[in-house]
């Protein structure tokens, strides 16, 4: 997909067909514990335009219920079908591709572990006598050195090595660097000589395929909005959706040039994206022009 720069001449061929928006969270609608001031107005605009939205996140440190509660505290009311996390993607992969695996050694937060247990998996302890059938690595904000070493031990023994997502850092509004799943996996790879057998989450296109199927959408009717080139933009490209890069999180403007696959659109924030989306969508609203044939807005 060729990149089009946001301008007065923004091509309606890109934004006109959009019927649903998949929204990254960290770095896109909020930063750490701070909700961006343009997020609520942007969501209200989507409602006005009858455009559906789903939140996606690679951050596996919280369960889907945690995210629903967190967003609700900011006044964002959503249902379970409007949130999709890398932990849910990992559960789906285990059920469909590693059907004989049930006992897991997990580097993850209590919320992530509870979600895996709730899905029917058994979590092993740190004891060498409790042998897992696979090692799952997520964004573990409680990571300890002994547990990191135990994960490396089981990986070195040939157990399936699954990462919930590839992100190296997690965006934050605090004066620190939050080491994320991808960086932990890099340490494990260095120690064991093995890369993860499977990396879920963005940019795996399965994160978007479910949205397309759920709402009966064609890829060109879905916009994936996020702040990372190597996850959000890459996933949109793989799924055939419109990749919209916002510059409110990890990616910086100077990093866009030469990156492949290139973003479909680059905007400063959701505010600017909403403005352009409103302009190009106005022609398809009732009374303003013919609707997209055979498609309802989701």
User: What CATH architecture is 100-199?
Assistant: 3-Layer(aba) Sandwich (3.40)
pLDDT for the residue numbered 170 = 87
Task: Region of 258 please: left (phi>0), alpha (psi -120 to 50) or beta.
Answer: left
pLDDT at 298 over 80: no
User: Per-residue pLDDT tens for 210-255?
Assistant: 788 888 999 999 999 999 898 899 999 999 999 999 999 989 999 9
Q: Extract long-range pairs of 183-187: CB within 8 Å, 24+ residues apart.
A: 184/107, 184/137, 184/140, 184/143, 184/148, 185/137, 187/148
Q: Is it true that domain 4-58+202-268+280-284 has CATH number 3.40.1360.10? A: no
> Which contiguous run of DSSP H or E holds residue 189?
helix 181-192
Compute the average pLDDT of residues 261-283. Answer: 90
Crossing angle of the two packed helices 270-281 and 39-48, in degrees rounded to 10: 10
Sorted by where each begins, the domain ranges of the chain are: 4-58+202-268+280-284, 100-199
User: Per-residue pLDDT tens for 100-155?
Assistant: 999 999 999 999 999 999 999 999 999 989 999 999 999 999 999 999 999 999 99
pLDDT at 8 over 80: no
> Which contiguous run of DSSP H or E holds residue 123?
strand 122-123
Sheet holding 198-199, edge to edge: 122-123, 103-107, 134-137, 161-163, 198-199
Q: Give, in order, the Cα–Cα distances in Å from 53 to each of 19, 44, 181, 191, 226.
A: 9, 11, 26, 41, 13
Across-strand partners of 134?
104
User: Per-residue pLDDT tens for 55-65?
Assistant: 998 889 999 89
pTM > 0.85: yes or no: no
> Which contiguous run of DSSP H or E holds residue 239?
helix 234-239
The rounded distance, in Å, linking the Cα atoms of 8 and 265 is 13
């Amino acid at each position: 997909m060729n990149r089009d720069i946001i301008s007065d001449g923004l091509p309606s061929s890109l934004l006109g067909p959009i019927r649903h928006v998949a929204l990254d969270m960290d770095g896109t609608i909020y930063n750490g514990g701070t909700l961006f001031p343009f997020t609520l107005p942007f969501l209200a605009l989507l409602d006005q335009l009858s455009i559906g939205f789903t939140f996606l996140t690679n951050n596996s440190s919280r369960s889907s219920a945690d995210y629903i509660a967190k967003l609700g505290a900011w006044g964002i009311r959503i249902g379970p079908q409007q949130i999709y996390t890398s932990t849910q993607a990992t559960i789906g992969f285990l059920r469909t591709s590693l059907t004989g695996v049930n006992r897991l050694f997990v580097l993850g937060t209590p919320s992530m572990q509870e979600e895996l247990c709730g899905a029917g998996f058994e979590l092993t302890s740190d004891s060498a006598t409790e042998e897992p059938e696979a090692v799952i690595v997520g964004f573990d904000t409680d990571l300890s050195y002994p547990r990191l070493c135990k994960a490396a031990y089981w990986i070195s023994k040939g157990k399936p090595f699954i990462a919930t997502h590839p992100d190296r850092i997690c965006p934050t509004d605090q004066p620190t660097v939050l080491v994320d799943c991808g960086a932990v996996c890099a340490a494990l790879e260095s120690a064991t000589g093995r890369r993860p057998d499977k990396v879920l989450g963005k940019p795996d296109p399965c994160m978007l395929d479910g949205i397309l199927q759920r709402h009966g959408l064609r890829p060109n009717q879905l916009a994936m909005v996020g702040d990372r080139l190597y996850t959000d933009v890459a996933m949109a490209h793989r799924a055939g959706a419109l990749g919209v890069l916002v510059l409110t999180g990890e990616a910086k403007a100077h990093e866009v040039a030469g990156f492949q696959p290139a973003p479909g659109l680059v905007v400063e924030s959701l505010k600017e994206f909403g403005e352009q989306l409103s302009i190009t969508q106005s022609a398809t609203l009732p009374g303003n022009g013919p609707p997209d044939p055979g498609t309802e807005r989701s």
